[in-house]
Structure 1
C-alpha cells in the first residue's frame, strides 16, 4: 500500500546480495507468499514518525485496516512485513487518549502474523510505560494501567498464536514488576498451548507449534528470572507448563548474559 514510500529505504545489501537477502528472510520467516522488502528497523521508525505526524496519518491507517480486511476475506497474505511494522509503529506514536489508541490497536492486532511485527511494535510502545517509570514522557496512570491490562486479557484468551504473543510481549515490556508479577504468571499458567492455532504450516518452523507463542512465553519467563529469580523459580517449579516451554525457558536463560549464572529451576 505504501511500497512507493518504502522502496528508497530498501537495504542495498538486501537488494544486491542474495546470501544476505535469503539470510534476512530466513530470520524473519514470513508466512508463505508474504513479501519482505528488506528495510532496517531505524528506517522504519523514521518513516513511521514522519507519517504519524503528517496530515495523511489517519487515512493511511484506515487504508491498512481495509487491506487487512479485504485480504482476510480472500484468505491471502495482506500487507508486506514492513508495512505492518510501520502501521504498528504509527499507532505507537499517535498522540491520542488511551481508549482511542486501544480501539485502533484492536484493529491492528489481528493483522499480526509474524514475530518481527509483534516484537518491534510492542518493544516500541513507550506510551504504555507507567507514569512512575516515565522519563520525559507522560506515562500511564495506575487506573490506565489497570485498563490496559484488562484489555490485554482479551488476547491472552485468543486462540491465535500472534495475538497471544502480543499480550505476552506487552506484559514483558511494561508489566514485569512486583505488583503485576502474579497476574502475569497466572496469565501464562492459564494458556492452553495445544489449542492455540498457528498460521504457519508445520514445515515452516523447527519447534512444536505454536512455536512463536511458546518461545514468547519462554522469553518472558527468562526475563522474569533476571528480575525476580526466586519468584520465577517458585512459579516454574510449581506450574503445569508444557515441558517444551520449560525447555525453551531454560535455553533462553542460559543464553542470556543476565541469567547464564542464575539457576533457572
Structure 2
C-alpha cells in the first residue's frame, strides 16, 4: 500500500497540502479524490486485514484508514469498533474532518451514533472533542436534534484551538439552518469570548444570511 501511495504522490501538491496543516511533516502529497478511490477499492477487498496491519507513518496512510472505515459494509457495532480504534490516530483537522464526513452510516443509525459520540464530547483531548463536534455538524443539525446539539456545544470546555474553531463552525451552521433557536442560544450561552465571536464571524460570512441580519449579528459581538 505504501508503494501505491508513493506512486500517486505529487511534490507540488505535497507542498500545498503541508502548508494547510500546521505541525504535520509527514505528507506525501496524494490528492484526496485519489485516496477516496483507493479506499473504495480496499473496502471491497480484505479490508479487515488491511486495517489490522495498516501503517501510520504518513499522513495519507492515516487518512486512507479513515476513508476505508467509512466505505466498509458491515454491521453498525463492527463499524463503531473500528471507528473507536481510529479516533486516537487523529492529530490534525484535515484527517478529522475528512474522516467524519465519510461516516455516512450515521444517517441510518442516528440514535446509536449519537450515543457513541457522547464520551468524545466530554473528553479532555482536543481531537476527540473535535471529532465529536464535527460529527454533530455533519449529521445532526436537524429539527429533532437542534436543541440537544446546541446544549452539547455549550457544554464543550477545552482550550484547544481546533476545538474552539469546530464549535464556532457548528454554531454558525446551526444558525444558518435554524436561526430562531440559535439566536436565542447566542443571547444566553456560556461560550468563551473567542468561540462566541468566531461563531458570529462565520455567520456573517455565510451567503445564506442577508445583509440586515449580518448587521444585527455583528452588533452582538463581545468587546
The answer to whether TM tops 0.5 is: yes
Alignment RMSD: 1.6
After superposition, residues 106-121 of structure 1 pair within 5 angstroms as 106-121=84-99
The aligned counterpart of 1:25 is: 18
The aligned counterpart of 1:99 is: 77
The aligned counterpart of 1:244 is: 194
Contact 2:13–2:31 (CA<8 Å) still a contact in 1? no
CA displacement at 1:176 relative to structure 2: 0.6
CA displacement at 1:59 relative to structure 2: 1.4
CA separation in 2, counterparts of 1:177 and 1:187? 14
CA displacement at 1:212 relative to structure 2: 0.7
CA separation in 2, counterparts of 1:84 and 1:3? 11
After superposition, residues 136-151 of structure 1 pair within 5 angstroms as 140=108, 144-151=109-116
Contact 2:175–2:183 (CA<8 Å) still a contact in 1? yes
How high is the TM-score relative to the length of structure 1? 0.77
The aligned counterpart of 1:58 is: 48
CA displacement at 1:223 relative to structure 2: 0.8
Structure 1's unaligned 5+ residue stretches are: 16-20, 68-77, 130-139, 195-209
CA deviations 1:201-245 (Å, max 9, x no partner) are xxxxxxxxx111100011111111110011111112100100000
Aligned counterpart for 2:156 among listed residues 181, 191, 204: 191
CA separation in 2, counterparts of 1:128 and 1:94? 13
Aligned counterpart for 1:222 among listed residues 157, 165, 172: 172
The residue matched to 1:193 in structure 2 has which SS? Answer: coil
2:208 equivalent to 1:258: yes
CA deviations 1:89-141 (Å, max 9, x no partner) are 10000101111110110100111111000111111222212xxxxxxxxxx1x
Contact 1:30–1:81 (CA<8 Å) still a contact in 2? no
CA separation in 2, counterparts of 1:109 and 1:102? 10
The aligned counterpart of 1:89 is: 67
Runs of 4+ in 1 over 4 A off after TM superposition: none
How high is the TM-score relative to the length of structure 2? 0.90
2:109 equivalent to 1:164: no
Number of residue pairs aligned between Structure 1 and Structure 2? 215
The aligned counterpart of 2:138 is: 173
Kindly tell me: are residues 229 and 36 of structure 1, through their superposed partners in 2, closer, same or farther at Cα, counting changes over 3 Å?
A: same
CA separation in 1, counterparts of 2:150 and 2:32? 31
CA separation in 2, counterparts of 1:79 and 1:218? 31
Structure 2's unaligned 5+ residue stretches are: none
Contact 1:36–1:82 (CA<8 Å) still a contact in 2? yes
The residue matched to 2:62 in structure 1 has which SS? Answer: helix
CA displacement at 1:146 relative to structure 2: 1.5
